Amino acid sequence: DTEVTQTPKHLVMGMTNKKSLKCEQHMGHRAMYWYKQKAKKPPELMFVYSYEKLSINESVPSRFSPECPNSSLLNLHLHALQPEDSALYLCASSLFAVNTEAFFGQGTRLTVV
């Protein structure tokens, strides 16, 4: 099973709302990732968790707050977002954080109004 499950699939939120994106994998992977993808662009790395510890933060604004409650779950908490944050948010996991293929979820299409 090479499945990464993301919820919700679509999310519309106002600029004053607080919401969370969720990601789950049961492949025993020890690395999990959040990527942001704008239309017609490649995915951009936001965060990497390795063994449940944050190992990479690509200078992401603090209105995005990641959380890794356990090795199977990854959350992205959203607060006070801007319309330019509207994008496809992709979660991925890989066996380790280096040089192993990552498996992606279907993403959450976020619209900030």
Partner 1 sequence: AQKVTQAQTEISVVEKEDVTLDCVYETRDTTYYLFWYKQPPSGELVFLIRRNSFDEQNEISGRYSWNFQKSTSSFNFTITASQVVDSAVYFCALSGVTGRRALTFGSGTRLQVQP
Give the binding site for partner 1 (CB under 8 A): 2, 33, 40-43, 45, 48, 56, 88, 90, 92, 97-107, 109
4 or 81: whose CB is closer to partner 1?
4
13 or 95: whose CB is closer to partner 1?
95
8 A C-beta contact, residue 103 and residue 92: yes
> CA-CA distance, 10 to 4, in Å (whole number)?
16
| Shortest Å, Cβ 96 to partner 1 | 10
15 or 111: whose CB is closer to partner 1?
111
| Shortest Å, Cβ 7 to partner 1 | 14
Closest CA relative to residue 31, chosen from 56, 8, 7, 6? 56
> CA-CA distance, 93 to 3, in Å (whole number)?
9
